[in-house]
Structure 1
Amino acid sequence: MAARIDLTFDGADVQLLAAFWKTALGYVDVPPPAPYKTRAEWFAHLDVPEDISVDDVAWLCDPEGVGPRLSILKVPEAKTAKNRLHIDVRVPGHGSPDERWARIAEESERLVRAGGTVLEKFDGHHVVMADPEGNEFCVAAGAA
């Protein structure tokens, strides 16, 4: 059986990154574990340092349970170099190369409106982008 993975981002503004990645991927907040009714209620029972708040961490998941969970953690240091691992946001559907490129362009424009930045375009193939804190990712075509 293959292992399941979570992907973790470090960041300065956890809630900004969480909002961006929920928009980018269609993810939702991971519900609190039973018997807790809210994430804050669950977090309050943990033995974490007092200077860490529930807003310093976000847990996101694919509502269909297919994709990996994302964790976003507040850290004091800024991003200093290119990511060694990045996410590829795959735009579904088939069609001609022009149709696929149009979907990639449309998705990258949507993610710019959500706070992302286009770093480089490889016309007809993919767009390299950054989230609001500079974490690189690509938008490319993929199977539905």
Structure 2
Amino acid sequence: MITDLKLQLTIDCTDPERLAAFWAAALGYEVEPPPAPFATWRAHWLDQGVPEEELGEGDCSDSVIDPRGAGPRIWFQQVPEPKGVKNRLHLDLGVSGGRSVPFATRKERVLAEMKRLESAGASALRIEDSENSGSFSVVMQDPEGNELCVH
């Protein structure tokens, strides 16, 4: 039995800082600060011996953390190629309050979150609206095309 397992999600992307900023806003996370005494992640990685040419542009802020400590760390790993096919794993953002909340209220909450995420850089792909089954959700994409669902 593993007693000190720490879960980290890793998302491949071409612009880690952009996705870190988007997902911090989307999840209520924060961009992970560099370890002390470093002012930036770039300074930390250079101190650790990572060559400048491997670091790309910016200050290398490429991860987000849950300020409450409940959710996993998410690291955005820079890769040279853009996303090519549908994700096999995606994040679901549950904002509606669940089936004990009236359908109209859940729909309103999901649409408000959709608009908030669009203002942060996401785009809506489709709305799945089935009042008969009590289901309402929006399939979206983050700024690099990774799918997410809001329900």
Calculate the TM-score normalised by the size of structure 2. 0.82
* 127-136 or 37-46, which deviates more: 37-46
Query: Percent of aligned pairs with the same residue?
Result: 43
Matched, 1:129 2:140: yes
Aligned to 1:15: 17
Query: In 2 relative to 1, CA 125–137 (structure 1 residues): closer, same or farther, beyond 3 Å?
Result: same
Shift, 1:8, TM fit: 1.1
Aligned to 1:102: 108
Q: 1:83 aligns with which of 80, 84, 87?
A: 87
Shift, 1:57, TM fit: 5.5
Which structure would you say has the larger Rg?
A: 2
Matched, 1:61 2:65: yes
Aligned to 1:40: 42
Query: Is residue 9–residue 72 contact of structure 1 (8 Å, CA) maintained in 2?
Result: yes
Q: RMSD over aligned Cα, in angstroms?
A: 2.0
Shift, 1:49, TM fit: 3.4
Query: Is residue 7–residue 69 contact of structure 1 (8 Å, CA) maintained in 2?
Result: yes
Moved over 4 A (4+): none
Q: 1:71 aligns with which of 71, 75, 80?
A: 75
* 4-13 or 51-60, which deviates more: 51-60
| Superimposed CA distance per residue, residues 73-112 of structure 1 (whole angstroms, 9 cap, x where no aligned partner) | 2111111100000001121635211111110110011101
* 101-110 or 90-99, which deviates more: 90-99
Q: Secondary structure at the match of 1:138?
A: strand
Calculate the TM-score normalised by the size of structure 1. 0.86
Query: In 2 relative to 1, CA 15–34 (structure 1 residues): closer, same or farther, beyond 3 Å?
Result: closer
Aligned to 2:121: 115
Unaligned runs of 5+ in 1: none
